[in-house]
Amino acid sequence: LTRTVVNSFFSGNKRSYVVSGFIARSIYGDTTTLGRGGSDYTATVLGAILNAERVTKWTDVNGIMTADPNKVLEASSLENITFSELKNLSKFGSNVLVHPDSIDELSKYNIPFLIRNTFDYDFKGTQVINQNISNKKALSLHESCCLVGFNNTAKVPKEFIKQIIDKDWLFFRVKRPQNKDKSYYVVSEECVNFFKSNIKVNDNDVDILNEEMVLMTITGENMDKKKEVNKIQKKLKRDEINLLGFRRFYNSISLILDKKDLKK
């Protein structure tokens, strides 16, 4: 419906327009809002429908950075990143300044997304595209995670798991060979709250084991993940930092750490 309305309007109006992105109209004609990130989302939807050459987001920082500069002094701006890497950073804790649905919309139509700084015009921006042309890695941090154990015989309703996946909350399985009777997942705080309000936890079926965890994720599509994990394990062991677990994904490595070890 949006595509039909937009194409109908712009086919007869060739001027430039300023659009208040967060305001919308429901199918019943009521004025409504799109919520947080609605302006980004509107811009990318319009860009996709109108087949724009690119969509540029103006913000107050120098694009997407390799890490949070408040925690990592050597953090630098990325010149290029893929849509899948950007989505990964967003899911695993980074404030990437972009509505998740915006990423999907532009990636689907292969429209470049440029993130620039209003206060630093000389900064060329971080370009987000589908093609991987950078070897740089980025670090993201999720500071409110839990480890949840599900008894393998537990009857956890499938609709609960589907809702978690639909909401794109942090939720992934990790291996704990010492206990084969349960399946273990690292989940975000909002996911735990969802469980607590919908199913009985801390009984024999579902057990919240550790609420003092952080998740540190390294994202980069060109990584040799096996080699990187070996390097990381050696370095953490040398510095006496306990690695509770890790998980390799197609373009990232997630490390599970105790919150007390975060600063170290």
What pLDDT is stored for residue 120 in this prediction? Answer: 93
Q: Is the pTM of this model over 0.85?
A: no
Check if the beta carbon of residue 83 is closer than 8 Å to that of residue 128.
yes
Task: For residue 172, report the phi and psi dihedrals to the nearest 5 degrees.
Answer: -150, 155
Structure tokens at 48: 């996709």
Please give the Cα distance from 114 to 56 (Å, whole number): 5
Per-residue confidence (pLDDT) for residue 151, from 0 to 100: 78
User: Between helices 100-108 and 38-49, what is the axis angle to 10°?
Assistant: 10
User: Residue 97 is inside which H or E element, if any?
Assistant: none
**d(C-alpha 84, C-alpha 89), whole Å:** 9
* Per-residue pLDDT, 153: 66
The rounded distance, in Å, linking the Cα atoms of 168 and 203 is 26
At 165 the pLDDT is 77
Question: Are 43 and 100 within 8 A, CB to CB?
Answer: no
Q: What pLDDT tens digit does each residue of the chain (264 aa) get?
A: 889 989 999 998 888 889 887 888 888 989 988 877 788 888 888 999 999 999 999 988 888 899 988 888 899 999 999 998 988 888 787 666 676 677 888 898 999 999 999 999 999 999 999 988 888 889 998 888 888 887 776 666 677 778 887 777 888 888 765 667 778 888 888 887 887 777 665 556 677 777 788 899 999 988 888 999 999 999 999 999 988 888 888 889 999 898 888 888
Q: Is residue 9 exposed (0-12), middle (13-18) or buried (19+ Cβ within 10 Å)? A: exposed
Task: Label the pairing between strands 126-129 and 23-25.
Answer: unpaired
Encoded tokens for 232: 């990381």
Amino acid present at 58: W
